[in-house]
Amino acid sequence: MTHRLPPPRALARLALLLVVPAVLAAWLDTAARAQAPVIVRMATLVPDGSTWHQILMEAADQWKQASGGRVVVRLFPGGVAGDDPDVVRKMRLGTLNAGVLTSVGVAEIDKSVYALGIPLMFESYDEVYWVHEKMRPKLEASLEAKGFVVLNWADGGWVHFFTKKPVAVPDDLRKLKLFSWAGDAEAVEVWRSAGFDPVPLPATEIATALQTGLVQALGAPPQVTVISQYYTSANNMTALRWQLLLGATLITKSAWEKIPAELRPELLKISQQAGTRLRKEVRDAEGRDIEAMKKRGLNVVPVSAAQRAEWQKLTESLYPSIRGKIVPAEAFDEAMRYRDEYRKTHGAAAGR
């Protein structure tokens, strides 16, 4: 029995009937994806409702406006996504796309950032940021090579020790249980080698640890302390600028590249402006925040020149342990060299 093939014209119509729906479905899917906004899930320890949070919310709104709704930032403030190491881990997994991080979070990717927060190495904001500008290109290139794009740099202000008992010299601090970031085994080892008693914990547990006595001291900037109310449990502040708490807003390279290329320069500009605002807010608020806490019972412990020399001697004795173990040796040496260059031309305390 023979089968007659359909005529060529009928075959063409049949092929058209089969192909057109598939092409149309693919086109509709592409169009739908083109119209769907890129969602950027961004987490931070910055407390909900704080001035810092407001600045971040405004920047998120500006991203939406500048992109015509094509990029939407969803903020998760107050540590709801975990502390900085948790946020970086989730960024790597893809459950988060971006984070406003302290140096502890950035160091999960590249520890060179710690060179800009070496205790008692720097005297002023201007000094730190002059060194930062020298080191920034290499650091940003390293972060990008590891899959992260820097949207801005900012800081949380100068770290002071907030303690349950007054601390003026290192021996005072050695008697207290000192908060240390969980997962930073090298820092814990250095603290212990100098006779201190570090207690490794996630940053999200600081308030409870202070209330229960698990921790009796922590290093934190005044604005972080006043926003988080740590001073109600640790109501002594050592008048010593220990280090600047540097930070950055990072987005995964994969998420950044999902944003249309023509939008990225404007979104980056908005982020950098937000970083500038955050830095200015911290500088302007430091004295005001300390005064506000003093009115509520904070005791500021003065540190004399001789006592400061004790702290300086201690930290410099630890530099060989910090170099290479906590801060990569090359980054440590670069920071020291650039700091010395700054002091030759500007003086040690300029821009304090």
- What digits encode the pLDDT tens for the residues 161-202? 999 999 999 999 999 999 999 888 999 999 999 999 999 999
Q: For residue 189, which of 332, 82, 324, 312 has the smallest C-alpha distance? A: 324
342 against 346, higher pLDDT: 342
Quote the CA–CA distance of 119 and 307 in Å, as a whole number: 15
Residue with tokens 């640790």: 234
pLDDT digits (tens, 9 = 90+) for 122-171: 999 999 999 999 999 999 999 999 999 999 999 999 999 999 999 999 99
Q: For residue 187, which of 334, 318, 45, 85 has the smallest C-alpha distance? A: 318
pLDDT at 11 over 70: no
pLDDT digits (tens, 9 = 90+) for 233-275: 999 999 999 999 999 999 999 999 999 999 999 999 999 999 9
Q: What is the pLDDT of residue 119?
A: 97
Residue with tokens 């800009």: 116
Strand pairing class (243-252; 98-102): antiparallel
Cα–Cα distances in angstroms (integers) from residue 333 to residues 125, 204, 339, in the given order? 19, 33, 10
Residue 167 parent element (H or E)? none
Quote the CA–CA distance of 251 and 274 in Å, as a whole number: 15
Q: What is the pLDDT of residue 83?
A: 92
Q: Is 96 helix (H, G, I), strand (E, B) or coil?
A: coil
Residue 68, judged by CB atoms within 10 A of its CB (0-12, 13-18, 19+), counts as exposed
Range 284-312 average pLDDT:
96
pLDDT at 2 over 80: no
